[in-house]
């Protein structure tokens, strides 16, 4: 089994910053890509950012220039640095990782339980 646990969410005023962390544990042979999604009340879950194992990144247009995704492969941990936060960033943020559990295993997607980010105006 693979478990992903997010941390770092909270309440912050507009213009502030937060850093989210996601630590994967369990039967992990290799983590391919990692990413962050978010879901606001009444809205669909949307992609925020992704990062490949060797560090290539991609961002949603709404967060470009404000958010930075990174990872520490040795610790099976991903991060999302969020700066210049806006009220519209308010959502539950979910960590995603594409994981192979053995040398013969295919890559499968795993999800954390989410962490709440609330940005007040």
Q: Which two tokens stand for residue 96?
A: 């995603």
Instruction: Give the pLDDT of residue 46.
Output: 97
Give Cα 29 distance to the centre of its chain: 20
Instruction: Give the pLDDT of residue 72.
Output: 95
Confidence of residue 6 (pLDDT cuts 50, 70, 90): very high
Q: Please state the rounded mean pLDDT for residues 42-46.
A: 95
Rama region for 15: left / alpha / beta (φ>0; ψ in -120 to 50; rest) = left
Q: Please state the rounded mean pLDDT for residues 40-59.
A: 96
Q: Tens digits of per-residue pLDDT, 104-114?
A: 989 999 999 99
Instruction: Give the pLDDT of residue 91.
Output: 98
Report the distance separating Cα 35 and Cα 76, nearest Å. Answer: 13
Environment class of residue 47 by beta-carbon count within 10 Å: exposed (0-12), middle (13-18) or buried (19+)?
middle
Instruction: Give the pLDDT of residue 79.
Output: 98
Q: Return mean pLDDT, the chain.
A: 96
């Amino acid at each position: 089994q693979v478990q992903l646990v997010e941390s770092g969410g909270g309440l912050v005023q507009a213009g502030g910053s937060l850093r989210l962390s996601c630590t994967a544990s369990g039967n992990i042979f290799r983590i391919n890509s990692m990413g962050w999604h978010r879901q606001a009340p009444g809205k669909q879950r949307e992609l925020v950012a992704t990062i490949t194992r060797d560090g290539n990144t991609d961002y949603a247009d709404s967060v470009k220039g404000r958010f930075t995704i990174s990872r520490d492969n040795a610790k099976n941990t991903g991060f999302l640095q969020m700066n210049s936060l806006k009220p519209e960033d308010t959502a539950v943020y979910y960590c995603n990782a594409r994981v192979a559990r053995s040398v013969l295993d295919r890559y499968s997607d795993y999800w954390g339980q989410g962490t709440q980010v609330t940005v007040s105006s």
